[in-house]
Amino acid sequence: MRHIKHAFCLSLVTLGLTACGGGGGKSTSVAASSMAPGSVAASSVIASSAPASSTPASSVAPSSVAAPSSTPASSIAPPSSFAASSSSAAATLVNLSVTSGWRGNGDGNSGITYSSDGVSFTAAGDNLGAVTDIAAPIQLEDAVFTMIVKVSSEFKSSGASLQPFAQIKGGAWAGEWDCWAGNDLFTAGSDVTITCTIAEADKKFDQTANDVQIGVQAKGTPTGVVTIKSASVTLKQKASNSSGASSSAASAYSANVNSLRELATFPIGVAVSNTDSPSYNILTNASEKTLVEKHFDQMTAGNIMKMSYLQPSQGNFTFTNADAFVDYAKSKNINIHGHALVWHSDYQVPNFMKNWSGSAADFLTALETHITNVVDHYEAKDNLVSWDVVNEALTDGTPSNFRTTDSTFYVKSGNSAVYIERAFKAARAANAGVKLYYNDYNIEQNNSKTNKMIEMVTDFQARSIPIDGIGFQMHVCLNYPTATTIAAAMKKVVDKGLMVKITELDVAINQPYCDNYPANKISAFTQTVALAQKKRYCEIVKAYLDTVPANLRGGISVWGTTNANTWLDDLYRTQFDNQKISWPLLFDSSYNDKPALRGFADALQGTACSNL
């Protein structure tokens, strides 16, 4: 999966709904503010999700129960922004003392010290930090805690980062681990404000029985000192209706769509997370399950069916997690689109392939062995109906060509693109009935890359290389490319008699490489913006229906369930000043409908696309 970029595309090296070749969740870092970090107000940022390696350690609670989540809550305006009946009371601000009540956190912590600046800890290792308690009863779901911190020159030079977090004390020590402040935020000796929203999908902080501890810990290989100069918690605003009674349900927007999948005669799919993004794991997150089972009849695993997951070392195939995912889907009559057998991105290529020292012929045999084993294994499951065989093998720019030095597969195949056709042949030999796709980003722009893709498949067809269709990732912006351009690109594939599948659809409200960002930056997800996105989704789906005949429709899949788990805010954290402002999906961060869902349904039902 990939993002739109006119010149080139950046690779992600994180877990979760990773774009640029696919993904299923993601890790984000806090982006630097657009203003000087020495100014507290100017450098205020929203902490986002920690990299997958950042399992926190607490001196109070075992770290084994605090698996890192992949994505922070979105900063989308709540659904009540569309509901005239709702009003909000003033938020409650809880200021926390920095002169008492803190303690060191993490094994081997030397403790904390107080000074006129606040409370400090020595960041002498990963997971070391400082925490303080908030006594029960306290309702912290959707609360925001804010810290003004200062780091020493040693800490800045070490390259370490900070992770704000919260934990419910006692029992399983449930926590909020989705927040992250990267080293790029900090200037030695200057104040920076970091914030973290407590927004867990399972609403685990909706409790009042236990005390809660909040704090911050160093991540990486830190040295030096971190000082917390102030800390506060802003509790969630309480919505009320006109009678004064509390009402959260009254504020939720409804798209009046009972089931998206029931409106189509082709697959309606969604990318989901598994063990690669624990907080959004489709197998354990009840909200994810409810949403997916209601609206979708196909799923794509963001990460766990890629090569590095299924064969981490040569001959060592590990199907356990992927099997659980596929089996769950089968139990719900949901099909699987496999993603992806071959993808060049460095973090998804097993080391044994990256470090291959044998012949090109033997490398191609090893590649075929991987594909044969994986495709054959999932043929037996019955519900895996299609594969992205090769993902993103073409370059951006004019002219477009095959990736060379940045692709292990090209280099180890003897500096040749022959691996692509060999992959398709191996997949077909392993399963005669599964649909085989070439998948790429930006090809919907009807550009040089589109033409190179058509050149490749024309050659394949002339030489009887098996290929059934083309996957258009379709990571588009609110205005670019036009629906007419998208239709023209799809028409080129239709004219080759190939199936067309939209594999990774999302519509970014903000994106650094189109729609004249940041000059036209949209800072709030207002009703006007939401309705513009509704129309855009409708126009894209309509272009698909108008261009692709029924027999060539491979389906449409969106890349993620909710705004809380989108890869875009991760990838563009620096350009977005760590604001969660892509808002690209059909559901908000609380699993509520967005108008975009209505727009998707309108196109399926033949209703005119509008921003009303």
Q: Which residues form the catalytic set?
A: 392, 504
C-alpha distance across the termini of the chain, in Å: 31
Token duo for residue 464: 């009887």
DSSP H helical segments within 335-417, as ranges? Answer: 351-354, 360-379, 408-412
Q: Who contacts 466 (Cβ-Cβ below 8 Å, separation ≥6)?
A: 424, 425, 427, 428, 436, 460
CA 600 from centre of chain: 21
Q: What phi and psi values does residue 132 have, to the nearest 5 degrees?
A: -140, 160
Helices (H) and strands (E) in the chain, counts: 13, 24
Token duo for residue 224: 């030096």
Q: Tell me the C-alpha distance between 368 and 348, whole Å.
A: 17
Q: Tell me the C-alpha distance between 424 and 194, whole Å.
A: 48
DSSP H helical segments within 525-566, as ranges? Answer: 527-547
Enumerate the β-bridge partners of residue 388.
437
Instruction: List C-alpha distances in Å: 412 to 360, 425, 509.
Output: 6, 18, 40
Token duo for residue 527: 């009703």
Report yes or no: 260 and 603 within 8 Å, Cβ to Cβ.
no
Q: Who contacts 606 (Cβ-Cβ below 8 Å, separation ≥6)?
A: none
Token duo for residue 158: 């070490």
Report yes or no: 11 and 345 within 8 Å, Cβ to Cβ.
yes
Residue indicated by tokens 């107000």: 41
Token duo for residue 78: 């709540």
Q: Tell me the C-alpha distance between 129 and 168, whole Å.
A: 17
Q: Tell me the C-alpha distance between 137 and 141, whole Å.
A: 13
Report yes or no: 61 and 103 within 8 Å, Cβ to Cβ.
no
| Element (DSSP H or E) covering residue 260 | none
* CB environment 367-392: b (16+ within 10 A), e (fewer): bbebbebbbebbeeeebbbbbbbbbb
